[in-house]
Amino acid sequence: MFEHDQEIVNSLLNENKDFKRLYEKHDVLKNTVKEANEKSIQVDQLSLEGLKKEKLILKDRMASIIEDYKHNQI
């Protein structure tokens, strides 16, 4: 995720508490979805879809923060 912006992500993780919170929550959700897809944990389909949507919302928020950061650095 955001491999091409890794330096910016690293800076934001150190400087922006909101971004760090979003990043950490996204990471937890990513792992939960992965485990559910691998059948390592039991999650009903409706709950799994909800987790995926929440994960996507977090990713969109982080992408927005990254774009704002890029525009403010110019």
Cβ neighbour number for residue 53 with a 10 Å cutoff:
11
pLDDT of residue 74: 63
The per-residue pLDDT for range 29-57, each reduced to its tens digit, is 999 999 999 988 898 999 999 999 999 99
Does 73 score more than 90 pLDDT? no
* DSSP H stretches of helix in the chain: 6-15, 17-37, 45-72
Q: What is the pTM of this model?
A: 0.88
- Please state, in angstroms and rounded to a whole number, the distance separating the CA atoms of residues 39 and 71: 42
Reported as a pLDDT band with limits 50, 70 and 90, residue 1 is: confident
Cβ neighbour number for residue 59 with a 10 Å cutoff:
17
- Please state, in angstroms and rounded to a whole number, the distance separating the CA atoms of residues 68 and 40: 37
Amino acid found at 8: I
Does 3 score more than 80 pLDDT? no
